[in-house]
Structure 1
Amino acid sequence: MPADPAALRLALAGEIAAGNPALDPAWHDAVAAVPRELFVENALFRHAGTEWTPVRQTETSDDEWLKMVYTDRTWVTQIDEQDAADVEGPVAGSPTSSATLPSLVVRTAQVADLQPGQHILEVGTGTGYSTAILCHRLGTDNVVSIEYDTGLAATAAAHLRAAGYTPALAVGDGLRGCREHADYDAIIATCSVRHIPPHWFWQLNDGGSITTTICGWMQAAGLIRLVLDDEGTAHGRFTADHITYMLARPHERPPSPLFLRIDGDTTPARLDPALLERWEARFVAQLAAPSAELMDTSSGIILRDVATGSQAWTEPEGTGWTVHQHGPLRLWDRVENALIQWQKAQAPDLTGFGMTATPESQTVWIGSPQGPTWQLPV
């Protein structure tokens, strides 16, 4: 018997609800109603090793294609702004658009505490799938969505029309919000940011909220909902989720030059660099060194500061580790000191972290605003 898309949608919605018992049933209903196959369209990428291989609907059976579409996973649809449908063979590069896994879409919406009747801005239309989920739950007239990529925006608009949804769509830099349709009761981002853009604050109604993932160039992120108070300051605490979205394109790190190790100053490391394998440890590390990237090697880790060229790299020595540091920033010292502060605070998971933010100043802290604190690169 051929695969039934409606049955597959219902099964996917049930799987997501079983994995998140606290999920509002209305989000279950949205997943069960929105035809994801219209948004994945006819091509996507599979990842193997260091390459991405395009898979076309015409090259698979209908049943196999639908089962792929209704798997709870992210399907990358664009690599370095090349659409899967336009690529003939394997390519290397970084994802620039995807059909986000449905469980993440509704998890983010649940954290945002979105309610029917609220006027919502979604930053990052992408394929349009998450926009359709929001429309089903909140009503088409209540949803505004903005997309940076003009080609993606046009494709998403076609997808949404085909699915029967007609939200207000805009093309432009979502980090500047969407002034045309402001003000908003809530802003929800399907991209990660290094800091909260000032325009998001300025386009919120009193008591409005911002839900996004705060991420850095070490690829650890925290999902947070911030609520604006009467004085224009937003407050919130991170959830426990180990999730992220693609960084907003203006917040992506610039291309890295070839890395050449420089010995620099050599000192013993107080911490084992393997600690940075923990999500929360990397989150702390990028708070301490916000313009640095982290690379793992077979013999340790490398930190390289994109802004100054400073570097630090570790190597085993006896039963411990040696660290080499070069440049104006002593990167390892910064990271190590922050990790020790985190350990002294009992090494909490992400729920132990919170954030206080204004357009001019944004800090992430442990425990309370009086605890260990780091400034985001606004």
Structure 2
Amino acid sequence: MSDHDKHLRQLIDRMTASGSLRSQPWKDAAAAVPRHEFLRNGFFRVVDGTSPTAWAPVREGGEGWLEACYTDESLVTQIAGTIKPTDIRGEILREPTSSSTLPSLVLRMLEDLEVQPGMQVLEIGTGTGYSTAVLCARLGDDHVTSIEYDEEVALRAREALSRLDTYPNLLIGDGLQGGDQGTLYDRIIATCAVRTVPTVWLEHTRPGGQILTTIGGWLHASELVRLTVHEDGTASGPALGGQVSFMLARPHQAPPLGMLPDLSAGREREAIIGADVLDEWTTRFVAQFAVPTVQRLKLQNGQHNEDVFVDTETASFAALRHEDGRWIVRQGGPDPLWDAVEEQLGRWHAAGTPAVEEATIRVTPAGQSIHW
């Protein structure tokens, strides 16, 4: 048995023991795909003790490269939109823009996709091609279409897949616009997060088909959801839990805040709910459905620290401060942001603050909402 075969078997055993890999067909598919083939361009490793975070390249054949390929970890494969590990020596301080997702999450999502033989699957975000290869091993190349936004990332994935004699339908383009025009898919699975589920995904899914995606947002909380598409062009389904986090699709990422509105203007009142509740993941996830284009920052205003929420699309804002044992909110702009947050969280509290797994997400051409 080769070294990579041994490492692959150990990885499958770990994923089985953790519960992310649950059925024999997906175990067989995972066993057929050597992950290191998709990391031959190397990956970036965090440099310990750095702030801001620095990244150092690990190249194929370097110390710990093969072992890391079979750890159950996400491995960063691109920095700053263009830089791959073979491009630099030393360290880099820019932000990651592409990665190879931890295998247990890949297999957990494929299990959650509830796919059956003969189905046509569209994958949004080819990435390294690892999850594409596992899909092909399970369904066959002719049943898998994968689309990647970044042309260089797509070409590297194509090379890796061809080394395994795997040839799905690979597209280069904006996966937020769906796959092949005129094609209906039984399943759509996204390996990036979206702020709002694109309506075109519903249009590209057969009635009764499913969409598995992570819904995230600019308040930095996200969850995996499985939506069933209905005859009327809407979709609904459960949040699956687990605080699953992916990089947001590039067109859905938050814009720079730029010039802030005049935060001294606006009307003040005592807040029903304080800003500190949004320090908790599930609360932020629920609140995002009410204020999907809001970003949060902390500012000093005189003697007070304020939690400031700004909608860059409308220039609306809410600034909250804790004073004399109570929260005071000051709101300005066309939309009273904190009113919307309090109303949304009020409905959640009235339902007994159920776990996210008890929620139903609904998507229509008019937008998306969360219900209990």
Q: Do both share a fold (TM > 0.5)?
A: yes
Q: Report the AA paired with residue 110 of structure 2.
A: A
2:261, 2:315 within 8 Å by CA — same for their partners in 1? no
Partner of 1:365: 370
1:184, 1:205 within 8 Å by CA — same for their partners in 2? yes
Q: Please report how far the alpha carbon of residue 232 of structure 1 lies from its aligned counterpart in structure 2 after TM superposition.
A: 3.0
Of stretches 181-190 and 275-284 in structure 1, the one that deviates more from structure 2 is 181-190
Alignment of 1:215-294 (within 5 A): 215-257=216-258, 262-264=263-265, 265-294=267-296
Change (3 A) 1:319 1:89: farther
Which residue of the other structure, out of 303, 308, 326, is the alignment partner of 1:302?
308
TM-score by length of 2: 0.89
1:144, 1:181 within 8 Å by CA — same for their partners in 2? no
Of stretches 96-105 and 187-196 in structure 1, the one that deviates more from structure 2 is 187-196
Partner of 1:43: 42
Residue ranges of structure 1 left out of the alignment (5+ in a row): 368-378
Change (3 A) 1:245 1:224: same
Give identity over the alignment, percent.
38
Of stretches 296-305 and 68-77 in structure 1, the one that deviates more from structure 2 is 296-305
Change (3 A) 1:22 1:70: closer
Partner of 1:375: none
Partner of 1:31: 30
Give the 3-state SS of the residue equivalent to 1:271 in structure 2: coil
TM-score by length of 1: 0.88
- Distance in 2 (alpha carbons) for counterparts of 1:181 and 1:334: 39
Q: Report the AA paired with residue 338 of structure 1.
A: Q
Q: Please report how far the alpha carbon of residue 352 of structure 1 lies from its aligned counterpart in structure 2 after TM superposition.
A: 2.2
Alignment of 1:1-378 (within 5 A): 4-20=3-19, 23-47=22-46, 48-57=50-59, 60-61=62-63, 64-85=64-85, 86-179=87-180, 182-257=183-258, 262-264=263-265, 265-295=267-297, 299=305, 301-358=307-364, 360-367=365-372
1:39, 1:129 within 8 Å by CA — same for their partners in 2? yes
CA displacement, residues 113-170 of structure 1 (integer Å, 9 cap, x when unaligned): 0122111111110111111111111112211111111111111100111123111101
CA displacement, residues 254-311 of structure 1 (integer Å, 9 cap, x when unaligned): 2222658823333333223222122211012211111101236795633111212222
Give the 3-state SS of the residue equivalent to 1:51 in structure 2: coil
Change (3 A) 1:295 1:105: farther
Q: Report the AA paired with residue 135 of structure 2.
A: L
Change (3 A) 1:269 1:90: farther
- Distance in 1 (alpha carbons) for counterparts of 2:297 and 2:359: 25
Give the 3-state SS of the residue equivalent to 2:156 in structure 1: helix
Q: Please report how far the alpha carbon of residue 3 of structure 1 lies from its aligned counterpart in structure 2 after TM superposition.
A: 8.3
CA displacement, residues 218-247 of structure 1 (integer Å, 9 cap, x when unaligned): 121221111223333322111122102211
CA displacement, residues 302-360 of structure 1 (integer Å, 9 cap, x when unaligned): 311121222223333232333333333222222122222211111112122212333x2
Give the 3-state SS of the residue equivalent to 2:289 in structure 1: helix
1:355, 1:362 within 8 Å by CA — same for their partners in 2? no
Change (3 A) 1:260 1:92: farther
- Distance in 2 (alpha carbons) for counterparts of 1:73 and 1:9: 14
* Number of equivalences: 363
Change (3 A) 1:167 1:44: same
Change (3 A) 1:300 1:353: farther
1:353, 1:364 within 8 Å by CA — same for their partners in 2? no
Partner of 1:372: none
Give the 3-state SS of the residue equivalent to 2:247 in structure 1: coil
Change (3 A) 1:175 1:325: same
Q: Report the AA paired with residue 140 of structure 1.
A: D
Q: Report the AA paired with residue 189 of structure 2.
A: I
Change (3 A) 1:59 1:204: closer
Pairwise CA RMSD of aligned residues? Answer: 2.4
Of stretches 111-120 and 79-88 in structure 1, the one that deviates more from structure 2 is 79-88
2:158, 2:170 within 8 Å by CA — same for their partners in 1? yes
Residue ranges of structure 2 left out of the alignment (5+ in a row): none
- Distance in 1 (alpha carbons) for counterparts of 2:119 and 2:270: 55
- Distance in 1 (alpha carbons) for counterparts of 2:106 and 2:241: 16
Change (3 A) 1:84 1:297: farther
CA displacement, residues 84-135 of structure 1 (integer Å, 9 cap, x when unaligned): 3223444344332110111111111111101221111111101111111111
- Distance in 1 (alpha carbons) for counterparts of 2:82 and 2:89: 11
